[in-house]
């Protein structure tokens, strides 16, 4: 396994390990880590670029102040694509719960607020619309 993946998993365990154990079945967490471990350096770099695109798209959508805008829906689509690089499977319910959790966790609020003021709440509003379509 490449060093950066090992370090990423270790950091993730330190920050979120206990919560992941409480919220998700052990097999889901293991499957996610297995998927991550299979990433090539190129794939990992593509995920990081996708994260940059996601953040830039959220920033652009925020300027429109409309969580139902085309740009907001594009941000949601990119967010789904981004999480699917880590998740072993997808469900709309789990996706919405993840974004709700962002709004209740200061670590995520700090991260998204660096993108733009109100970004965390805006992403939840947009995701709620996106996942109903």
Pull the structure tokens for residue 33: 């880590």
69 contact partners, CB below 8 Å, separation of at least 6? 61
Give the mean pLDDT per block of 10 residues along the chain (133 residues): 64 64 63 80 90 98 98 98 92 93 92 96 98 87
For residue 125, the model assigns a pLDDT of: 98
For residue 57, the model assigns a pLDDT of: 98
Alpha carbon dihedral 72, 115, 64, 91, in 10-degree steps, equals 10
Which residue reads 């789904």 in tokens? 80
Q: Which domains does the chain have, with CATH numbers?
A: 1-38 (no CATH), 40-132 (1.10.490.50)
Contact 47, 39 (CB under 8 A): yes
For residue 36, the model assigns a pLDDT of: 79
For residue 2, the model assigns a pLDDT of: 63
**Cα 85 from Cα 79, distance rounded (Å):** 10
For residue 28, the model assigns a pLDDT of: 67
Q: What are phi and psi of 83, to 5 degrees?
A: -65, -30
For residue 88, the model assigns a pLDDT of: 87
């Amino acid at each position: 396994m490449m060093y950066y993946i090992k370090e990423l998993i270790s950091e993730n365990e330190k920050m979120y390990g206990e919560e992941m154990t409480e919220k998700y079945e052990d097999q889901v967490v293991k499957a996610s880590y297995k998927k991550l471990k299979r990433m090539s350096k190129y794939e990992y770099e593509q995920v990081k670029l996708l994260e940059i695109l996601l953040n830039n798209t959220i920033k652009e959508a925020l300027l429109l102040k409309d969580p139902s805008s085309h740009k907001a829906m594009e941000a949601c689509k990119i967010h789904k694509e981004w999480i699917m690089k880590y998740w072993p499977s997808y469900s709309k319910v789990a996706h919405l719960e993840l974004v709700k959790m962002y709004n209740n966790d200061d670590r995520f609020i700090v991260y998204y607020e660096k993108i733009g003021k109100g970004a965390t709440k805006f992403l939840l509003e947009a995701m709620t619309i996106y996942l109903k379509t």
